[in-house]
């Protein structure tokens, strides 16, 4: 018997290579906005201008820091208020989107997101802020961008290594959406199509970074992954990465890329449906093997120690993960088996 409750978040998606300027203009017109604040990193300044020049921009804001420190959020909020901004446009990766969300959280201003990585934050109503080493996250519909403008041409400059890590971050949203606390059949269908799209797109990006088809598949997969994730919630994989990122200040996408094969191998033997769906999406006979092959093709990052995690941090991390295990995880989690998983990810061993 099939019985579930599914919530889809209200959001318009405009997808079209080369169409960012036109699609952004249409969204700004639809809001009737006349005082726009554009949020983009320093490095993304030029790209932001190519997309938003000609719009009624009253503030170009370039102080963007990963994980949104509260003082950075506060300065952006003050700027938006001082300039009587009536709409936010973020152009960039998850960090630029995250800052726009922080401003929307307190102001209620609408966001149009123009993503240039595969982080997927644009399709979720989740926000994050950090104070010192402590990251706080929450869910609020106010931070959900009203519209997303996807344009693969904006992503061709994303270096291959970052594209791979970011794409595997998206893949992790898909895999975790198979068994996260609110996972339902719609999430699993979206996640399976997301895996298929990323499996097709990411190898093309590695072979031809400036090629459009691979970039389009990756953006499409990233959107599906985040859509599923927003509905399903955080599964074991995301809890582990959240703990590691917070404790050791590790790079976001790369941490996901390293941890994912270990969580898949950990849960797959205890999750028959998920295992079959993931294997089929990889067009492989086995889910774990499908991911292994893809990671090999992509030369994906392998070890937490290469990302700066200290080896003597494994025990404390295992305790913190144990305290955060989401309900309904397919495999019972113990201090021993989670420490074993973390050790293998730290060493960069093939997951068992």
Binding residues vs ligand NAD (CB under 6 A):
41, 43-44, 66-67, 92-96, 98, 116-117, 119-121, 124, 126, 128, 154-155, 157-158, 162, 166, 252-253
Element (H, E) at 230: helix 212-232
Q: Tell me whether residue 27 or residue 176 sits nearer to ligand NAD (CB atom).
A: 176
| Residue nearest ligand NAD, CB atom distance | 94
Provide the minimum distance between the beta carbon of 352 and ligand NAD in the complex, in angstroms, as a whole number.
28
Nearer to ligand NAD, 40 or 341 (CB): 40
The DSSP letter of residue 249 is -
Nearer Cβ to ligand NAD (246/313): 246
Under 8 Å CB-to-CB from 161, ≥6 apart: which residues? none
Nearer CB in complex with ligand NAD: 279/326 = 326
Compute the least distance from the CB of residue 253 to ligand NAD, in Å. 4
* Shortest Cβ 165–ligand NAD spacing (Å): 7
Q: What does the block give as tokens for 322? A: 């144990």
Estimate to the nearest angstrom the gap between the alpha carbon of 12 and the chain centroid. 18
Q: Indicate the DSSP class of residue 308.
A: T
Tell me the DSSP string of 11-78. Answer: -EEEE-TT-HHHHHHHHHHHHT--SEEEE--STTHHHHHHHHTTS-EEEEE----TT-BHHHHHHHHH
Shortest Å distance, C-beta 31 to ligand NAD: 22
Q: How far is the CB of 32 from ligand NAD (least distance, A)?
A: 27
**Comparison of 43 and 310: residue with beta carbon closer to ligand NAD:** 43
For the record, the structure tokens of 95 come out as 């960090």
Distance between CA atoms of residues 237 and 239, nearest Å? 5
Residue closer to ligand NAD by CB (options 28, 253) is: 253
Rg of the chain, C-alpha, whole Å:
19
Q: Minimum CB separation from ligand NAD for residue 98, in Å?
A: 5
Shortest approach of ligand NAD to residue 172 CB, angstroms?
A: 10
> CA 260, 261, 264 angle in degrees (round to 5)?
85
DSSP code of residue 163:
H
* Closer residue to ligand NAD (CB): 96 or 304: 96
């Amino acid at each position: 018997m099939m019985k579930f409750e599914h919530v889809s978040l209200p959001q318009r998606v405009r997808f079209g290579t080369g169409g960012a300027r036109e699609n952004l203009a249409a969204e700004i017109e639809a809001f009737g906005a006349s005082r726009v604040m554009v949020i983009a990193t320093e490095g993304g300044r030029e790209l932001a201008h190519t997309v938003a020049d000609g719009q009624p921009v009253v503030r170009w804001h370039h102080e963007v820091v990963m994980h949104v420190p509260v003082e950075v959020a506060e300065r952006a909020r003050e700027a938006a208020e001082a300039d009587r901004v009536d709409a936010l446009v973020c152009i960039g990766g998850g960090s630029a989107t995250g800052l726009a969300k922080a401003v929307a959280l307190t102001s209620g201003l609408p966001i149009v997101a123009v993503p240039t990585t595969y982080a997927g934050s644009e399709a979720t109503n989740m926000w994050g802020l950090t104070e010192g080493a402590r990251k706080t996250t929450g869910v609020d519909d106010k931070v959900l961008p009203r519209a997303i403008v996807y344009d693969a041409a904006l992503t061709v400059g994303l270096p291959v290594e970052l594209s791979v890590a970011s794409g595997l971050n998206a893949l992790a949203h898909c895999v975790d959406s198979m068994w996260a606390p609110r996972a339902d059949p719609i999430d699993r269908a979206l996640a399976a199509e997301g895996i298929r799209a990323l499996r097709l797109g990411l190898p093309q990006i590695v072979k031809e970074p400036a090629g459009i088809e691979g970039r389009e598949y990756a953006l499409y997969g990233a959107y599906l992954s985040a859509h599923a994730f927003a509905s399903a919630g955080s599964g074991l994989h995301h809890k582990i990465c959240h703990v590691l990122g917070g404790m050791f200040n590790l790079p976001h996408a790369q941490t996901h890329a390293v941890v994912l094969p270990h969580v898949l191998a950990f849960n797959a033997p205890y999750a028959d449906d998920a295992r079959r769906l993931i294997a089929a999406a990889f067009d492989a006979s086995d889910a774990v093997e499908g991911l292994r092959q893809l990671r090999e093709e992509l030369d994906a990052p392998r070890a937490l120690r290469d990302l700066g995690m200290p080896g003597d941090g494994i025990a404390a991390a295992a305790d913190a993960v144990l305290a955060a295990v989401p309900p309904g995880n397919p495999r019972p989690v113990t201090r021993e088996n989670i420490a074993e998983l973390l050790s293998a990810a730290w060493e960069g061993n093939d997951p068992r």
